[in-house]
Chains A and B, each alone.
Chain A
């Protein structure tokens, strides 16, 4: 069989190229453009090479924001993944309870992010908020607008409230796909509840959990709206995560060059962590 060569097929790909160019490549290249140049406006640019990158990588402000970001993401992953699995395990497997639980679980996911931030802001205000006021009545000196610990506590609580459901729903889907015969076989063997979890449920959930961890890592690593509305990055810079710091630099101080360089570094960190994590999980899969 001879292959017919027909270059006309390329025409059909052009619309996609244009679309991708406008929604991804062009904005990204603008950022790349800014990252290597300096400008004083009027479309006058000067070549700066890797100066902004060196500056950002050496800057203590960036290190601090990156540290806060990893700490935040680490904490919420450590809370949300086990908590999500635990909730999924304790959800009913059949009956009227299933739709009720599923709807209740998806509620937080349906609320717009800025609304979540505003909601928690009001909820946690020390004078009038239910949470803030109650905590103070109970004798805790709680004020998330002034105390660093309280600000972190509230931000983490908010994120756990907003996003644990996602882990629950994914884990629940993974659990539901396990055939009842597995549980029966384990019962016949006399396996303990822990053994069933460790050797049947966890391995069977591995793929959805990989997805859950990746999604939660990316989302929490790029978190902006909720802490911006809740704490505005404060008190001081205590909850200024990478994206909040980035916006301050780009739009507050109008340091477009360093901000662009920081965006690219930010982007590569997310990409790198996801790539490494995914490959680790999938390599284990292949070894099996």
Chain B
């Protein structure tokens, strides 16, 4: 089982929503489409489902060309950001609705709905109507409707975006378990890098209608192909700065910050460095750390983390430290960057691989 997009392109009027895209999704995988709003996640999903037709290109499913095949014949399910349920059906009827149309016997429907309801902790509320339930339960119902039929392709379009923080955490942890032991391809669109990391599987980073990189989630995170992929997969935003290399010494352009790294085999010259916020901290971390001075712009404490924005030589930096570190706005402070975690990019913004 596989889903393959071959040279897919989508234009609406003069605007290109999806640039030529090739993507192959394998069976029993969870695939994350990661990108900001308007990156083309929803359009891509609708093309995958058959709800929308590509302007050009083909969609192949199980080595069959399904381009232009109607969504009803494609055996897909979809869960949306909004909680989409039939408003005056009970939860039971809502979950059973995709099965009833297919003409499955009542006994079997009852059994399957019962199973899915138990899986999604809805057993006690099968006789209620959707608007009697909380948002989280409504979204569970929508998920149950997607899971109850044995779809080949399950599309989740930012399913947790409208839930409050706690419910989101809870449901996010359960999601990968729901798709275990299922013969299907799952596609999950999200704007949150943390969703991708928690769910795992494979990730495609998207930016302005283009797939930047597709691969195992951890690999995409640790070895972003280029700066775009690195910025899509970083929240808070990744720090990018121009650097110079001279011998084994690297430095920021103003030569304020310098560090030594001997294990990179590069010519002397200009490069770029990408530093994730959690690698700039108020305390020393890792074997090699380098000090950076800055003037504090914003200091936010959230539970167990401190997010600090500061300036150094006219550029803005973001740092994320564990623990709560109160800093005053305007204060000059010292922070430490973990040199071992730096990612180096060439002048074309592509990652430089080194051992």
Contact = CB atoms under 8 A, between A and B. Distances in A.
A185 interface: yes
Contacts of B101: 189-191
Contacts of A66: none
B82 A179 contact: yes
B154 to A, nearest CB: 11
A164 B51 CA distance: 34
B142 to A, nearest CB: 8
Chain A's interface size range is 10 to 19
Interface stretch (A38-46, A150-158, A199-207, A212-220): A199-207
Contact of A188 (B72, B89, B102): B72
Contacts of A203: 86-88
B51 A184 contact: yes
A188 B88 contact: no
B77 interface: yes
A47 interface: no
Contact of B71 (A188, A199, A288): A188
B201 to A, nearest CB: 23
A182 interface: yes
A199 B89 contact: yes
Contact of A204 (B46, B72, B87, B102): B87
Chain B's interface size range is 20 to 34
B49 interface: yes
Interface string B65-86: 0000001100011101110101
A188 B49 contact: yes
Interface in B77-122: 77-78, 80-82, 84, 86-89, 97-98, 101-102
B87 A200 contact: yes
B80 to A, nearest CB: 4
B37 interface: no
Nearest to A191: B101
Interface in B167-193: none
Contact of A181 (B49, B72, B82, B132): B82
A189 B97 contact: yes
Given A179-B82, A182-B84, A187 B51 contact: yes
Nearest to A200: B86
Given A181-B84, A199-B89, A200-B86, A188 B129 contact: no
Contacts, number: 47
B7 interface: no
Contacts of B84: 179, 181-182, 185
A189 B74 CA distance: 11
A187 B101 CA distance: 12
Contact of A288 (B72, B77, B97, B129): B129
Contacts of B49: 188
A184 B70 CA distance: 12
Nearest to A181: B80
A288 B86 contact: no
A189 B85 CA distance: 11
B76, B82, B84, B132: residue with the most chain A Cβ atoms closer than 10 Å? B84
Contacts of B76: 188
B305 to A, nearest CB: 34
B131 interface: yes
A189 B86 CA distance: 11
Given A184-B51, A203-B88, A189 B98 contact: yes
A187 B87 contact: no
A182 B81 CA distance: 11
Nearest to B101: A190
27 contacts: A181-B80, A181-B81, A181-B82, A182-B84, A184-B78, A184-B80, A185-B78, A185-B80, A185-B84, A187-B71, A188-B49, A188-B76, A188-B77, A189-B97, A189-B98, A190-B72, A190-B101, A190-B102, A191-B97, A191-B101, A199-B86, A199-B88, A199-B89, A200-B86, A200-B87, A203-B88, A288-B132
Given A181-B81, A190-B102, 9 more contacts: A179-B84, A181-B82, A184-B46, A185-B84, A190-B98, A191-B97, A203-B86, A203-B87, A288-B132
The 9 A-B residue pairs with the shortest CB-CB distance, nearest first, are A190-B72, A181-B80, A203-B87, A203-B88, A185-B84, A288-B129, A190-B101, A189-B98, A199-B86
Interface of A: 179, 181-182, 184-185, 187-191, 199-200, 203-204, 288
